[in-house]
Chains A and B, each alone.
Chain A
Amino acid sequence: MSNSKRETRTALLFVSPWIIGFLVFLAYPLSASIYYSFCNYSVLKAPVWVGMANYRNLVQDDVFRTTLVNTLIYALMSLPVGMAVAIGLAMMLNAKIKGQTIYRTIFYVPSLVPGVPLAVLWLWVFNGKQGIINAVLQPLLDHVASALSIVGFHGHLNAPQWLSDAAWAKPALVIMSAWGAGNAMLIYLAGLQDVPQPLYEAADLDGAGWWSKTWNVTLPMLSPVILFNGIMGIIGALQVFTIPYIMFPGGSPARSTYFYAMYLYDNAFVYLKMGYACAMGWIMFAITVILTVAAHKLSDRYVHYGGS
C-alpha cells in the first residue's frame, strides 16, 4: 500500500465517528423527512404516501399562515434591534478604557443563560402589575400624562400589558431577544479589531469626526461581519421556539405569539401529524434559503471585503 493511500485510510478512520454520526443522525433523518413530508405519518404507523396533500393542506391552513406571518414579523423586528444592540455594545466595549475585559464579560454573560430559566425570569420582568419594567415605566408615563395635561390632554397613560395584550406580546419578545446579543457582539468585537488603524489615521488627517469615521470607515469595514450575523440572525429568528413556548402557552394572547416552530412542534408531537410537520420543516428551509440568497445578493452592493 502506498503511503498516501494509507494516510487517507487512517484519516478516514479517524473521521469515521463523525461520518457515521453525520449519516445516521443527520443525513438519514433529513432525507427521510423529505419522504415523510409526502406521507400521512403518525410516527407509530408505517407512513402512507399521500403525494402533495400535506403541502396542499398547508396552503389552505389559516393557522399555518398566522404562524408564518407572526414569525416573519418577529424576524423583521428582532433582527434590526438585535443588530443595533450588538454593534452598539461592541463599539462601546472596543473603547480603550479601564476594566475593558470585565465589561466584556458582563455583557456577554446574559447570552449564556439557557432559554427556559430566561423565559421564567422575563415572565416576572414583564408582569403587568409587579414587573420591573412597568414599575419604572408607569411613574414615567404618569409624569408625561400630567405634563400633557397642560396642553389639554386629560387621561391615563397606561404601561403596556406585555404578556396579555396581543399588540405588545411580540415587542416584548423582541426586547428579550436583545438580551442574547452577546454572541453576535463578540463577533462584531473581533471584526472591529480587524479594522486597519491607518484608515482611521487617514480619516483623522482629513478631519473626520466620530460619526463620519463610524459611517465611512467602521461600518463598511465591518460589513462582512454584519452580513454573517445578519444571516445567522435571520435563521435564528425564523426558528424562534423555546422562549415563546414557555412564556406564551398555545401562542396566547389570541395566537399573536404562535410561531412557526411552535406550530410545527405541536403538529409533530401533540397532534401526531409528523408528515405535515415535515412538510412545514421543508417550507421553512426553502424560506430560509431564499432569504439567505437575497441577503447575499443585497450584500454585493454593500459589503466590502478587506482583501479585495
Chain B
Amino acid sequence: MDIRKLTMPAMALVLFYCVYQSEKLTRVENPPGPIHITYWEKWTEFEGDAIRAVVDEYNRKQNKVHVDLLTVSDIEKKTLLAVSGGNPPDVAGLYGPNVAQYADDHAVMELDAYCKQYNITRDNYIPIYFDIGYYNGHVYSLPTTPASTALHYNKQLFREAGLDPEKPPVTIEEMDQLAEKVVTRKNGHIDKSGFMPAEPGWWNWGWGFVFGGRLWDPATGKITANCPENIRAYNWVRSYTDRYGASELSTFRSGFGNFSSPQNAFLSGKVAMEMQGVWMYNFIDQYAPGMEKPVLNWAAVPFPHPADRPDLAETTFADEDILVIPRGSRHPKEAFEFIAYVQSQEGMELLCMGQRKHSPLAKVSPDFIKKHPNPYITVFSELPKNKNVISPPKIGIWPEYQAEMNAAFEQVALGKKTAKEALDYVQNRVSLMNEDYQAQLKARKEAGQ
C-alpha cells in the first residue's frame, strides 16, 4: 500500500487529537465546589473596584455560589447579542432605560417569583428606584447604583460676579437673571457663562419635565412630545440662543474639553450652574480639587422651578444602573441569590459607598451618611423621595424617541426651528413609530411569541 495515501487521514487524525486535547484543557466538567455564575458589568476604575469588593464579599461569605465578574464595554449591546446567541451571562448590569425595550423583546427574565421568595418588595426602596425596573406588571430588574440630579453651582464664580454664594436661584427666572450676571467677555466673546441649557447635554430631551411636561401618557400610551409645557421648555432653551446668538454659544462651547477631564465646562469654571447628578462630586474630587479645598466652593441644591409653577419645586431626574437575569441564563436561581445580596443593606451600602452614590434603599444606616465623602449626599438621597421625581419613559421605542428629542433640541438651540415646529415634527414622527411598534408587539403576541 502506498503510504502516501495515509497522509490526509493522518493529518485529520492529528487535527482531531489537537482539538480534543485543547477542549479537554479548557472545559471544566462539573467542577467540585460552588456553582459558578457569570456576571457582566460595565464599570471600570473606582466604580469597578466597588462592585469587585461586593462580589468578593459575597464569594467569601458563602460557598454555594461563586460569582465570576467580567468587565464588559457596550454592555447593553453585547448582552443582547449574547442572549440571541443563546449564551448569555447569568447576571448583567444594564442601564435603567433599557428595561422596556429588553422586556418587550423577552431578552430579560421576569423576577416576580424570586422577589417574592426573597421578600423583596417596593417598600424596601425609595419607590422610583423600584419602579424603573417595573414594567407591564412585572419586575424585570433591580437597582444597583442610583442617581438623582440637582443644580450644581460654582460659588467662586458667584462671588466674582458680586452675587451671594449662599443664595442659589429658586426659580428658573431667577436662575436666568443670575446667569446673565455671571457672564464675562474677552475680546468680545463669551469667556464665562452662568448657565447653558446645552450643558452637559445629557437631558436635552428632558427639559420639558422641569416645566411640568411629559413625554408620554402612561395611561393611554400616547406620545406627548408637543404638549404646551414641552414647548415652553424649548422656548426657554431658545431664549438663551436669542440672547447670546447661536454661533457665539457654539464658539464658547467648542472650547470645552471632554466631560471626564479638567477641561470640563463646570470643573474649569467656564459655566457657573449646571444640572448634574450625584456622580459630579467624583469628578470635582478628581479633576478640580480646588473647588473642594481649602474651602468648599461648590454646592448642590434642588433644581429651580418656573416661578408660576411652585408645585414643581424640587424636580429631579432619577435614573439607575440595574441588574437583570438575561433569558437563557443557566443558573437563574443562583443568579438571583447574588442579586438579592446586592439588594441587602450591607451589599448595597458597600457598593454605593464605593461609587460614592446614595443608596436606592429606603433604609440607610446612619454611618453611611456620616461617612459619605459627598458633602451634599442628603440632597441627592432626599430629592428622589418627593413627588416631582421623574425618570425616562418606559416605552420600547425610547432610544429612538430620545434621539428625536435631542435632534429637536439641537435645531431649536441652533436657531434653525422654533420650539413648536421642532416638537410638532417629533410628535408626528414618534407617534407613527409608536403605533407601528405597538402593532408589531400585538402581531407577535398573537403569533404566540
Interface residues, chain A, with chain B CB atoms under 8 Å away:
13, 40, 42-46, 48, 57, 62, 127-130, 156, 158, 161-166, 250-255, 266, 269-272
The listed residue (B107, B399, B406, B411) touching A271 by CB distance below 8 A is: B399
Nearest-neighbor residue (CB-CB) of A124 within chain B: B257
Give the total of B residues in contact with A, Cβ under 8 Å.
Answer: 34
In the bound assembly, the distance between CA atoms of A255 and B440 in angstroms comes to 28
Nearest-neighbor residue (CB-CB) of A267 within chain B: B400
**Interface check B6, CB cutoff 8 A:** no
Are B255 and A130 neighbours in the complex by a CB distance under 8 Å?
Answer: yes
Q: Within 8 Å CB of A13, what residues of B?
A: 8
**Interface check B42, CB cutoff 8 A:** no
The interface-forming segment of B80-88, B145-153, B383-391 is B80-88
In the bound assembly, the distance between CA atoms of A227 and B444 in angstroms comes to 49
Q: Within 8 Å CB of B399, what residues of A?
A: 266, 270-271
Are A252 and B400 neighbours in the complex by a CB distance under 8 Å?
Answer: no
Are A271 and B400 neighbours in the complex by a CB distance under 8 Å?
Answer: yes
Q: How far is the CB of B240 from chain A (nearest CB, A)?
A: 15
The listed residue (B80, B251, B444) touching A48 by CB distance below 8 A is: B444
Beta-carbon contacts under 8 Å, B169-202 to A: 188
Nearest-neighbor residue (CB-CB) of B449 within chain A: A45
Are B254 and A161 neighbours in the complex by a CB distance under 8 Å?
Answer: yes
In the bound assembly, the distance between CA atoms of A128 and B447 in angstroms comes to 54
In the bound assembly, the distance between CA atoms of A46 and B440 in angstroms comes to 13
Chain A interface mostly: loop
Q: How far is the CB of A55 from chain B (nearest CB, A)?
A: 14
Q: How far is the CB of B402 from chain A (nearest CB, A)?
A: 9
Nearest-neighbor residue (CB-CB) of A129 within chain B: B255
The listed residue (B188, B410, B449) touching A253 by CB distance below 8 A is: B410
In the bound assembly, the distance between CA atoms of A171 and B76 in angstroms comes to 33
Are A44 and B254 neighbours in the complex by a CB distance under 8 Å?
Answer: no
Q: Within 8 Å CB of B101, what residues of A?
A: 272
Q: Within 8 Å CB of A45, what residues of B?
A: 105-106, 444, 449
Nearest-neighbor residue (CB-CB) of A13 within chain B: B8
Beta-carbon contacts under 8 Å, B74-108 to A: 77, 80-81, 83-84, 101, 105-107
In the bound assembly, the distance between CA atoms of A130 and B258 in angstroms comes to 13
Are B254 and A163 neighbours in the complex by a CB distance under 8 Å?
Answer: yes
Are B410 and A44 neighbours in the complex by a CB distance under 8 Å?
Answer: no
In the bound assembly, the distance between CA atoms of A228 and B403 in angstroms comes to 38
Given contacts A44-B105, A44-B106, A161-B247, is CB(A129)–CB(B254) below 8 Å? yes
Are A252 and B444 neighbours in the complex by a CB distance under 8 Å?
Answer: no
Q: How far is the CB of A125 from chain B (nearest CB, A)?
A: 12
Are B247 and A165 neighbours in the complex by a CB distance under 8 Å?
Answer: yes
Nearest-neighbor residue (CB-CB) of A165 within chain B: B250
Q: How far is the CB of A263 from chain B (nearest CB, A)?
A: 10
Q: Which of A127, A162, A251, A272 has the most CB of B within 10 A?
A: A272
Interface residues, chain B, with chain A CB atoms under 8 Å away:
8, 77, 80-81, 83-84, 101, 105-107, 188, 247, 250-251, 253-255, 397, 399-400, 403, 406-407, 410-411, 414, 416, 429, 436, 440, 443-444, 447, 449
Are A255 and B251 neighbours in the complex by a CB distance under 8 Å?
Answer: no
Q: How far is the CB of B175 from chain A (nearest CB, A)?
A: 24
In the bound assembly, the distance between CA atoms of A164 and B249 in angstroms comes to 10
In the bound assembly, the distance between CA atoms of A42 and B411 in angstroms comes to 30
Are B400 and A43 neighbours in the complex by a CB distance under 8 Å?
Answer: no
Nearest-neighbor residue (CB-CB) of A61 within chain B: B429
Q: Within 8 Å CB of B411, what residues of A?
A: 254
Q: Within 8 Å CB of B253, what residues of A?
A: 164
Are B188 and A129 neighbours in the complex by a CB distance under 8 Å?
Answer: no
Q: Within 8 Å CB of B414, what residues of A?
A: 166, 253-254
Q: Within 8 Å CB of A156, what residues of B?
A: 188
Q: Within 8 Å CB of A266, what residues of B?
A: 399, 403
A-B contact pairs, 28 of them (CB 8 A): A42-B105, A44-B83, A44-B84, A44-B106, A44-B107, A45-B105, A48-B444, A62-B429, A128-B251, A128-B255, A129-B254, A129-B255, A156-B188, A158-B251, A161-B247, A163-B254, A164-B253, A165-B247, A165-B250, A166-B414, A166-B416, A250-B407, A251-B407, A254-B407, A254-B410, A255-B410, A271-B397, A272-B101
Q: How far is the CB of A173 from chain B (nearest CB, A)?
A: 16
Q: How far is the CB of A257 from chain B (nearest CB, A)?
A: 11
Q: Within 8 Å CB of A163, what residues of B?
A: 254
Q: How far is the CB of B86 from chain A (nearest CB, A)?
A: 11
Q: Within 8 Å CB of A162, what residues of B?
A: 254
In the bound assembly, the distance between CA atoms of A266 and B80 in angstroms comes to 14
Q: Within 8 Å CB of A271, what residues of B?
A: 397, 399-400
Q: Within 8 Å CB of B247, what residues of A?
A: 158, 161, 165
In the bound assembly, the distance between CA atoms of A258 and B253 in angstroms comes to 20
Q: Within 8 Å CB of A127, what residues of B?
A: 254-255
Nearest-neighbor residue (CB-CB) of A120 within chain B: B258
Are A128 and B444 neighbours in the complex by a CB distance under 8 Å?
Answer: no
Q: Within 8 Å CB of A164, what residues of B?
A: 250-251, 253-254
In the bound assembly, the distance between CA atoms of A42 and B105 in angstroms comes to 8
Nearest-neighbor residue (CB-CB) of A159 within chain B: B251
The listed residue (A44, A48, A250) touching B403 by CB distance below 8 A is: A250
Are B443 and A48 neighbours in the complex by a CB distance under 8 Å?
Answer: yes
In the bound assembly, the distance between CA atoms of A254 and B411 in angstroms comes to 6
In the bound assembly, the distance between CA atoms of A254 and B444 in angstroms comes to 35
In the bound assembly, the distance between CA atoms of A40 and B105 in angstroms comes to 12
